[in-house]
Amino acid sequence: MRLTLLIAAASCALMTGLTVPAFAQQTTPFTLSSGSPRTPEQEAVAFNKARLAFDVRPEARSIKAQARLDFTALEAVAAIVLELDTRYAIDAITVDGHSISDWSNPQGRLTIPMAQPLHAGESVSIDIAYNGMPHTATRAPWDGGFVWSESNGKPWIATAVQGEGCDLIWPCIDHPMGEPEQVEMNITVPAGLSAPANGVLTGKTAHADGSTTWHWSTRNPDTYAITLSVGPYRELSGTYDSRYGNRIPLYFWPLESAPADKAQRLFDELPLMLDFFEDWVGPYPFANEKVGVVETPHLGMEHQTINAYGNGYKLDGKGYDWLMQHELAHEWFGNQMTNVSWDDMWLHEGFGTYMQPLYARWLNGERAMQSELETMRRTVSNRFPMVSGQPQDAATVYNAETGPALDLYYKGALIAHTLRLMIGDEAFKRSLRELVYDRPDPAPGNFKPVYRTTADYVAIVNRITGKDMGWFFDAYLYHAALPEVVMARDGGQVTLTWKTGSDLAFEMPLEVEIDGTVQTLAMQDGSARFTADPRAHILIDPQSKVLRRLDHIEQWKAQGGS
């Protein structure tokens, strides 16, 4: 066995002939979604540490793995409950070094009973040895799992499991609030391959058969952010001198076959992107580990400190690589600030997506931003509310038949844009800082990762603006249809009225251009009146500041526009 992390009791159980239960050939629907409500047992423990060892075997498209998981009881609990794909054969489980056989894993929810219930403050260490052929992604990252590919005849492997969850890779609490405080990873790969991963590289161990084990350590990772990336990589490295006075290590692992000039050009984009994020949001959250990017055979994913990149170094005229910028945004919106439930996923995807047009403006001016916003506007479907108000799993919110799906990204970004222009840049920036860091003055070392809900952000905006903004968030987030402006003209009298699905008056101010002259209407109680020549040309919201229903877009969509 080439694994570095050897769990003695589990190995002993294997040698004594412990019966290995049969494993499933197909991953269950339960496993193929993430964020199902936690069980009482899961809510009753703190997840202290995960020590994970993976022996990746490309020729068999399989892994042999061991996990040591440490928990502390927050209240009395009689069992540790985890999630793990039933495709894996579980070779052995021990509890504090004692082998047990009365565990169960129906549908992929693994229950491990304690010999005696844990009391509040007591800790336990669970060892799990397992192996098998993991679930293979059909269209990563949208339908995730393991990706088995090749580059110049050498294995090229990645994982992407945002929608499906960490249980496709390791035994975890597959919920946004299931983050372990610390993770150590030991990844053994065949000769000639590298295994960049989350956090800090603490060493490498060479083995007699030519394989190598890469040792990594990271803190507070998002559950689905734990990832395996294995391939024939080379390494680019550098440092970023932060706005906050600290120096941050930068790493990029492109394929050996990647064009050197294109790989270097992409790597050279990182410092400018970081400067933007530190300007608009705050300090890079994982400066004591690294900023990392690895080339993958799928498009991309926000794996904490080791973002997946598969955009092929394409130039699209924007002046930056949108894929790398988007995944980097999730280090703030997703990894540092994590939603409590998938129902609040717009906090990740909406703000993360808005960082692209903001960055376009930061680089190349207003027209660049407006071009990206216009493209986003045409994608908005408005079939489901952005937020249901109830806990949701990933499969529900990302499926266009059951949830907001792509609206999380593009409608979320447009909502953020409207909010920013309404409350101003300084208030908007402060709202982002408090959302992400739980304080207005983040600096290296004075913050920790946080969990957030939509209600948290509404409260932050209310406090910063000194106003009750409930009408804004109610209309945009909790109702599917966009607010609509209805104009009525009676001779020289013009009335504008907001129409929404909310019982609250929508008090969004509106700019109106009348024969070339612009005035701002307060829209108190949701309406306003003014006088204009009966033949005057009236243009509502001439600078497209407000996200609202537009007839020409609805007509285009009705005729099959997409």
Domains in the chain, ordered, with CATH?
8-147+156-219 (2.60.40.1730), 237-467 (1.10.390.10), 484-558 (2.60.40)
* Gap between the Cα atoms of 411 and 475, Å rounded: 13
Whole-structure pTM value: 0.94
3-state helix, strand, coil in the chain (%, to 5): 30, 30, 40
What is the helix (H) or strand (E) element at residue 312, kind and residue range?
none
* Gap between the Cα atoms of 487 and 521, Å rounded: 13
- pLDDT by residue for the chain (562 residues), tens only, comes to 333 333 333 333 333 333 334 456 799 999 999 999 999 999 999 999 999 999 999 999 999 999 999 999 999 999 999 999 999 999 999 999 999 999 999 999 999 999 999 999 999 999 999 999 999 999 999 999 999 999 999 999 999 999 999 999 999 999 999 999 999 999 999 999 999 999 999 999 999 999 999 999 999 999 999 999 999 999 999 999 999 999 999 999 999 999 999 999 999 999 999 999 999 999 999 999 999 999 999 999 999 999 999 999 999 999 999 999 999 999 999 999 999 999 999 999 999 999 999 999 999 999 999 999 999 999 999 999 999 999 999 999 999 999 999 999 999 999 999 999 999 999 999 999 999 999 999 999 999 999 999 999 999 999 999 999 999 999 999 999 999 999 999 999 999 999 998 888 999 999 999 999 999 999 999 999 999 999 999 999 999 999 999 999 999 999 988 6
Q: Check residue 254 and give its pLDDT.
A: 98
Q: Which residues contact 437 (CB under 8 A, 6 or more apart)?
A: 282, 336, 337, 447, 450
Q: Check residue 23 and give its pLDDT.
A: 55
* Gap between the Cα atoms of 548 and 481, Å rounded: 9
Q: Check residue 21 and give its pLDDT.
A: 41
CA distances from 29 to 68, 81, 167, 185, 279 (A): 26, 18, 12, 27, 42
Mapped to the 3 state alphabet, what secondary structure does 70-126 carry? EEEECCCEEEEEEECCCCCEEEEEEECCEEECCCECHHHEEEEEEEEEECCCCEEEE
Helix (H, G, I), strand (E, B) or coil at 40: helix
Q: Check residue 517 and give its pLDDT.
A: 97
Q: Which residues contact 256 (CB under 8 A, 6 or more apart)?
A: 151, 152, 232, 233, 234
Can you say how many angstroms the Cα of residue 532 is from the centroid of all Cα atoms in its chain? 49
**Which residues, listed in sequence order, are joined to residue 154 by a DSSP beta bridge?**
151
What tokens does 442 get? 């983040």
**Which residues, listed in sequence order, are joined to residue 292 by a DSSP beta bridge?**
251
Q: Check residue 504 and give its pLDDT.
A: 86
Q: Check residue 24 and give its pLDDT.
A: 67
* Gap between the Cα atoms of 40 and 37, Å rounded: 9
φ, ψ for residue 136, nearest 5 deg = -95, 135
The angle at the Cα of 167, spanning 166 to 171, to the nearest 5 degrees, equals 105
Contact (CB, 8 A) for 68 and 48: no
